[in-house]
């Protein structure tokens, strides 16, 4: 198993800025997350905010870092959970993935949509966060297919693309059986 990567060490003020950025992102949406809005929410002028984060992209990269770290932590725990937690590793992984993504939809979208700012993330974070798919599936291609299924299902749920009367739980269960 890959060692858990360390989050970037930030000052107390920078960590507060990231926490407020996450709150704005989740409560008001990605369009509301501007440097001016963020500076106001933390009680500073926008130029002062730039002393901590030089660009909006840097704030977003910090959010992606936190999102991938949280997701990876939950997924590693789910896969390692053993039979006592119900179902096999694939079922536990899919349940955990869906739960985290649906609980934090804006952060999930920021971390998984569009190009990943790899150069702005801690080394090894992306591999570590995705490793539970390999651990559950046992093969890199099955792991990639499992991730594609989970991500696609979550996006379809977030976009409300299933029929109103549709119960998606059997689809998740069918995938757990198919990938197990």
Q: Which residue has the tokens 């997350």?
A: 33
Reported as a single tens digit per residue, the pLDDT across 113-139 is 999 999 999 999 999 999 999 999 999
Instruction: Kindly tell me if the per-residue pLDDT of 160 is higher than 80.
Output: yes
**Over residues 157-174, mean pLDDT:** 95
Supply the pLDDT for residue 88: 92
Instruction: Kindly tell me if the per-residue pLDDT of 8 is higher than 60.
Output: yes
Instruction: Kindly tell me if the per-residue pLDDT of 174 is higher than 70.
Output: yes
Separation between Cα atoms, residue 146 and residue 136, nearest integer Å? 9
Q: What is the DSSP string of 6-57?
A: PPPP--HHHHHHHHHHHHHHHHH-GGG--HHHHHHHHTS-HHHHTTT-SSHH
Instruction: Kindly tell me if the per-residue pLDDT of 63 is higher than 70.
Output: yes
Fold classification of 12-179 (topology level): Tetracycline Repressor; domain 2 (1.10.357)
Supply the pLDDT for residue 35: 95
Per residue, what are the HEC states of 136-169? HHCCHHHHHHHHHHHHHHHHHHHCCCCCCCCCCH
Separation between Cα atoms, residue 83 and residue 98, nearest integer Å? 19
Separation between Cα atoms, residue 100 and residue 95, nearest integer Å? 9
Percentage of residues in the chain having pLDDT higher than 70? 97
Reported as a single tens digit per residue, the pLDDT across 40-51 is 999 999 889 999
Reported as a single tens digit per residue, the pLDDT across 77-102 is 999 986 555 679 999 999 999 999 99
Separation between Cα atoms, residue 43 and residue 46, nearest integer Å? 9
Write the DSSP symbol of residue 123. Answer: T
Supply the pLDDT for residue 68: 97
Three-state SS at 174: helix
**Over residues 17-31, mean pLDDT:** 96
Supply the pLDDT for residue 83: 54
Look at residues 154, 124, 133 and name the one whose alpha carbon lies nearest to residue 75. Answer: 133
Supply the pLDDT for residue 2: 80
Supply the pLDDT for residue 163: 94
């Amino acid at each position: 198993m890959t060692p858990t990567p360390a989050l970037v060490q930030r000052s107390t003020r920078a960590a507060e800025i990231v926490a407020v950025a996450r709150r704005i992102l989740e409560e008001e949406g990605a369009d509301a997350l501007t440097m001016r809005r963020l500076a106001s929410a933390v009680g500073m002028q926008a130029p002062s905010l730039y002393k901590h984060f030089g660009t909006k992209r840097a704030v977003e990269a910090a959010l992606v870092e936190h999102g991938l770290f949280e997701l990876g932590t939950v997924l590693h725990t789910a896969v390692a959970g053993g039979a006592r937690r119900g179902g096999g590793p694939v079922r536990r992984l899919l349940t955990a993935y869906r739960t985290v993504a649906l609980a934090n939809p804006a952060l999930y979208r920021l971390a998984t949509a569009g190009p990943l700012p790899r150069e702005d993330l801690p080394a090894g974070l992306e591999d570590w966060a995705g490793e539970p798919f390999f651990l559950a599936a046992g093969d890199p291609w099955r792991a990639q297919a499992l991730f594609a299924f989970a991500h696609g299902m979550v996006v379809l749920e977030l976009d409300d693309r299933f029929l109103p009367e549709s119960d998606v739980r059997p689809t998740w269960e069918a995938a757990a059986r198919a990938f197990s």
